[in-house]
Amino acid sequence: MPLSPSVTDAAYLEQVRAHILALPESGIVEVMNYGRDRPGMIPLWAGEGDVPTPAFICEAAATALHAGETFYTWQRGLPELRAAIARYMSRVYGVAEDPERYFVTGSGMQSILIAFAMALAAGDEVLIPSPSWPNAAAAAQKTGAVPVAVPFRYGADGFRLDMERFEAAVTPRTRAIFMNTPANPTGFVATRAELEGVLALARRHGLWIIADEIYGRFYYADAPRAPSFHDIMTPDDHIVFVQTFSKNWAMTGWRIGWIEADPRLGQVVENLIQYSTSGVAAFMQRGAIAALEQGEPFVAEQIARARAGRDIVADALLATGKVDLVKPDGAFYLFFGINGHRDVARLGLRLVDEANVGIAPGTAFGPGGEGFMRLCFARGAVQLEEAARRLSAWIRAHGGAAAPALETAFDRS
Amino acid sequence: MPLSPSVTDAAYLEQVRAHILALPESGIVEVMNYGRDRPGMIPLWAGEGDVPTPAFICEAAATALHAGETFYTWQRGLPELRAAIARYMSRVYGVAEDPERYFVTGSGMQSILIAFAMALAAGDEVLIPSPSWPNAAAAAQKTGAVPVAVPFRYGADGFRLDMERFEAAVTPRTRAIFMNTPANPTGFVATRAELEGVLALARRHGLWIIADEIYGRFYYADAPRAPSFHDIMTPDDHIVFVQTFSKNWAMTGWRIGWIEADPRLGQVVENLIQYSTSGVAAFMQRGAIAALEQGEPFVAEQIARARAGRDIVADALLATGKVDLVKPDGAFYLFFGINGHRDVARLGLRLVDEANVGIAPGTAFGPGGEGFMRLCFARGAVQLEEAARRLSAWIRAHGGAAAPALETAFDRS
């Protein structure tokens, strides 16, 4: 490297393919970078809790590591882990126990990419309810495909699917629907009837459904889990489930997930794993087995903690009378507006400065997120009570007068 | 899942995009599955050694795991690891020490995909000398691009680049050259003059070079490492180096590597990591830091072991007088023919049955691999001596008469 660059950054970057150069940066990073190092900051911007991975999971991984499980391994995952996932899915979702349905991946993110690779070629379109976790749309774009945002309807019952908008969004290039339920960031939880509507649409047009039900057990209504495509699908449907160990078992940093797909796709999925990262470390998979087999008390505790966290923050914010907030039935986010503060990118920075609480602007989550903020409540009560206290005080001081009816103010049509 | 599938496998698979359905299965798997469980089998088919990851690396990872380094982390990699890579590359390759050039990835395989994503859109072409490690071509295909095999010339000096074939292979759709040196499976090592020829071609046509120099230190000639693009490049060249911890530090199963690229590509690479697997487990990165900082004696021992292994097997095979084999100067494979046995897929199975040694058919490595077998010699002397004894005995018994001159028999024009 004897010389300095002689061309400008822009000239150097011209050789990068346009759809890759256009990939969005994370919209959360600005506020994170702004607030990261503030003393006493309570960070509620990311989609992860404050608890490290339980010791029994770490032990299982460390033991395997020291035992020399450091060689190449099965591309579809350790047979023992695939069997453990099959037992887990049978227990929680009633899926017939078949290890051949499950493929271990290097993160839920990778699961999405593999599903998109099967479904989408360059120029194909995938429908994504919006606002949504931005990585799904970006993954489609990375694949060379076109993510098509289908806005939720927003009203007194929160965010709801609008099947007419879905139907209207289908074109000859549409190949897939990405359905996240319970949803990040909105807290939307599809009813069984809504899932049936989406499935009918997919069947009618020959579309894949990429089902992201990773928050399925973070459900606060009338059942131990949210409604699932598992409840209504038949074997000939083209539904691929993308899953992760991140949320249930506090393993966000591990980067391990799985795909659930029809066994007829087995060789295709195996090839895609081979040509993505060529499998997942065997010693990490030992940790994942421990999570599935010994993790139920931990998961139950995490869910109870999130439910309590939701109530702590949501009740405090609602009591101000100056927020647009529908308490969500699922996932672990509040997605809400503060009266009189539509410029949420600026609002995020102000809340860092003036309330020392970090929350993410809704604009990071695509069309329909304008005017909203996302707050993660998967944390301990003491910290959330303090965050709620700070935020409520700020909102009482700075929030605008009551907004017009929600349907008028925030409908995204 | 109440019902059985009602459509055939083929009908179900019709919904998978064609270029994905066409991805090749590994060509090594047939012989591996055939021989995997034979008692006493010596497996030399895979590209990995027989030594597990050293304890000091495992310790560093396990310590970080138990210390709670289980949360989301920097998308570009831990700053400490990026700095450690920069020091390592400065020490070994004389690269100016700049951590901003390095990006931690979830395997060398992922590094290649990220590099290809920047360079290749659907329909674009990448030139790949052939035979080659098949995952590079498959990664291009997965991207929607077209891998173009450029055959090596084969003769008494082994496999050599043919710059005329390279020049002739360039079309208006050509965007990149994938250059693996020292090479798997051929043992080809580019000379400085050959690298200069490739770089000149790339500059002339505005092409990226994806440089896979992962075997750079497994070099048995006149210097501590093989010639590198680092020796000749200037900052304005579009050269992306794809790297892995797998080979030098016996970490094949970990799935961790890095990309070296101009810092102007930093945000693009970060986005591609974000939308691939969203970073690498921090606790694994602690192991990688230990590898770089304390691993030199181990690496030196591995290289000496591979050099000895090469001589053990190559000398024994050459002594039969019935092989086409040029002793390679780099990487850790012999790529050779046995006289009279051109059907190498069948030969691989016979050697399992009759010699109890597992080696991979050259046809798994694309055009030009016909008639060759790949043998990995990154193993201990005792096992390699036994493998060499078995193979030599088989070849003496079953090898054909001396072949015509190599140039005639195996030239790939």
pLDDT digits (tens, 9 = 90+) for B10-64: 899 999 999 999 999 888 888 888 988 899 999 999 998 999 999 999 999 999 9
Which pLDDT belongs to residue A26? 81
- The domain boundary, picked from B273, B294, B315, lies at B294
Q: Which of A213, A257, A185 minimizes the C-alpha distance to A28?
A: A185
- The domain boundary, picked from A269, A295, A321, lies at A295
- The domain boundary, picked from B252, B275, B294, lies at B294
For A254-356, strand residue ranges (E) read: 257-260, 323-324, 333-338
Q: pLDDT > 90: what percent of chain A?
A: 90
User: Do B289 and B301 sit in the same domain of this protein?
Assistant: no
User: Do B257 and B331 sit in the same domain of this protein?
Assistant: no
Contact B139 A275 (CB under 8 A): yes
Band of pLDDT at residue B403, cut at 50, 70 and 90: low
List pLDDT tens digits, range A236-262: 999 999 999 999 999 999 999 999 999
Residue B170 in any domain: the answer is yes
Query: In sequence order, what are the beta bridge partners of B142?
Result: none
Q: How many C-beta atoms surround the C-beta of residue A204 within 10 A?
A: 10
Per the structure, the complete domain to which residue A88 belongs is given by: 55-295
Q: How far is CA B208 from CA B47, B124, B184, B257, in A?
A: 27, 12, 21, 20
From A407's Cα to the closest Cα of chain B, the distance in A is 34
Q: What CATH number is associated with residue A146?
A: 3.40.640.10
Phi/psi at A80 (nearest 5 deg)?
-65, -35
- Nearest by CB to A62, from B62, B106, B267: name it: B62
User: Do A29 and A67 sit in the same domain of this protein?
Assistant: no
Query: What tokens appear for A200 in the block?
Result: 């009918």
Contact A122 B122 (CB under 8 A): yes
Residue B403 in any domain: the answer is no
Phi/psi at A396 (nearest 5 deg)?
-60, -35
List pLDDT tens digits, range B266-302: 999 999 999 999 999 999 999 999 999 999 999 999 9
Q: What CATH number is associated with residue A26?
A: 3.90.1150.10
What ipTM, to 2 d.p.? 0.95
Interface test with A, best of B6, B17, B25 (most A CBs within 10 A): B17
User: Do A71 and A140 sit in the same domain of this protein?
Assistant: yes
d(CA B35, CA B32): 5
User: Do B91 and B198 sit in the same domain of this protein?
Assistant: yes
**pLDDT, average across residues A320-342:** 97
**pLDDT, average across residues A141-150:** 97
Interface test with B, best of A255, A265, A280 (most B CBs within 10 A): A255
Contact residues on chain A for B268, CB-CB shorter than 8 A: 13, 16, 20-21, 23
User: Do B249 and B286 sit in the same domain of this protein?
Assistant: yes
Q: Pairing mode, if any, of strands A333-338 and A373-376?
A: antiparallel
Q: Pairing mode, if any, of strands B239-244 and B257-260?
A: antiparallel
User: Do A180 and A312 sit in the same domain of this protein?
Assistant: no
From B93's Cα to the closest Cα of chain A, the distance in A is 10
| Residue B407 predicted with pLDDT over 50 | no
d(CA B226, CA B218): 8
Residue A10 in any domain: the answer is no
List pLDDT tens digits, range B195-219: 999 999 999 999 999 999 999 999 9
pTM for the predicted model, two decimal places: 0.95
List pLDDT tens digits, range A96-138: 999 999 999 999 999 999 999 999 999 999 999 999 999 999 9
User: Do A175 and A310 sit in the same domain of this protein?
Assistant: no
Q: How many C-beta atoms surround the C-beta of residue B21 within 10 A?
A: 14
Residue A11 in any domain: the answer is no
**pLDDT, average across residues B76-96:** 97
List pLDDT tens digits, range B111-154: 999 999 999 999 999 999 999 999 999 999 999 999 999 999 99
Chains A, B: CB contacts under 8 A, how many? 251
Residue B321 in any domain: the answer is yes
Which pLDDT belongs to residue B181? 98
Which residue of chain A comes nearest to B234, CA vs CA?
Answer: A1
User: Do B261 and B347 sit in the same domain of this protein?
Assistant: no
Contact A5 B70 (CB under 8 A): no
User: Do A308 and A288 sit in the same domain of this protein?
Assistant: no
From B53's Cα to the closest Cα of chain A, the distance in A is 6
Residue A177 in any domain: the answer is yes
Work out how many domains chain B is built from and give that number. Answer: 2
Residue A90 in any domain: the answer is yes
List pLDDT tens digits, range B324-351: 999 999 999 999 999 999 999 999 999 9
From A283's Cα to the closest Cα of chain B, the distance in A is 8
User: Do A118 and A241 sit in the same domain of this protein?
Assistant: yes
Residue A89 in any domain: the answer is yes
List pLDDT tens digits, range A4-53: 788 888 899 999 999 999 999 888 888 888 988 899 999 999 998 999 99
Query: In sequence order, what are the beta bridge partners of B103?
Result: B259
Which pLDDT belongs to residue A402? 64
Q: pLDDT > 70: what percent of chain B?
A: 96
User: Do A126 and A257 sit in the same domain of this protein?
Assistant: yes
